[in-house]
Amino acid sequence: DGGITQSPKYLFRKEGQNVTLSCEQNLNHDAMYWYRQDPGQGLRLIYYSQIVNDFQKGDIAEGYSVSREKKESFPLTVTSAQKNPTAFYLCASSYQGQNYGYTFGSGTRLTVV
Amino acid sequence: AQKVTQAQTEISVVEKEDVTLDCVYETRDTTYYLFWYKQPPSGELVFLIRRNSFDEQNEISGRYSWNFQKSTSSFNFTITASQVVDSAVYFCAPGGGGYNKLIFGAGTRLAVHP
């Protein structure tokens, strides 16, 4: 079955370390997105990519980096510059065009220890 | 700028009650799409409905129904005869703010008690 896979489900990081969250989709979607969700909060867009080798900053890109070398993959790196990285991270993908909704992964819960 | 407001932060009901979740949006686009997603405790967002701005007919899917009123920029969601399994956070998301970017509201947390 087609879908979008995020790994790991839970991740612990020491302060000062970079960590990479994986997102893979086999839906043949062109666009991919990363969102951050804090407790009791909505979703805030970190980065998005509409095509391979291209990506744009969202509303809260500082302290994060991404790459899009393959259509299927859109990894997110949380760098040590991100001051408050503990959060729930959701990856999504979609076809191009505003009439398509997103398919979401099951999320990665990152905790800084 | 695109904006969406879900004024109800949390709603608590008893099973079998009807409940309506409000969504008000702002957009400068003349054509756009509106979505509702459900986020159960597992965390993954689940697609519920997509509505385009040309179609103002109400839609019903089982116990779920949606009322879209373009004149008031609202897209409200009603659950009839709520069940415990409906407990989740519900997000309204208009399409806007750029190509294929959905703008998510803060969400409404619904708790259905037995």
Nearest CA in chain B to A94: B100
Give the per-residue pLDDT at B99. 58
Residues of A in contact with B101 (CB under 8 A): 45, 48
The two tokens of residue B101 are 């970017």
B58-107 tens-digit pLDDT: 888 899 999 999 899 999 999 999 999 999 999 999 886 555 678 888 99
Size of interface A-B (CB pairs under 8 A): 58
A39-91 tens-digit pLDDT: 878 899 999 999 999 999 999 999 999 999 999 999 999 999 898 999 999 99
Q: Which residue in the set A42, A98, A106 is minimally distant from B43, CB to CB?
A: A106
Cβ of residue B101 closer than 8 Å to a chain A Cβ = yes
A88-113 tens-digit pLDDT: 999 999 988 767 789 999 999 999 98
B45–A92 C-beta distance less than 8 A: yes
In this model, does residue A24 exceed pLDDT 90?
yes
- Residues B63 and B77: their CA atoms lie apart, in Å, by 11
Q: How far is B16 from chain A (nearest CA, A)?
A: 25
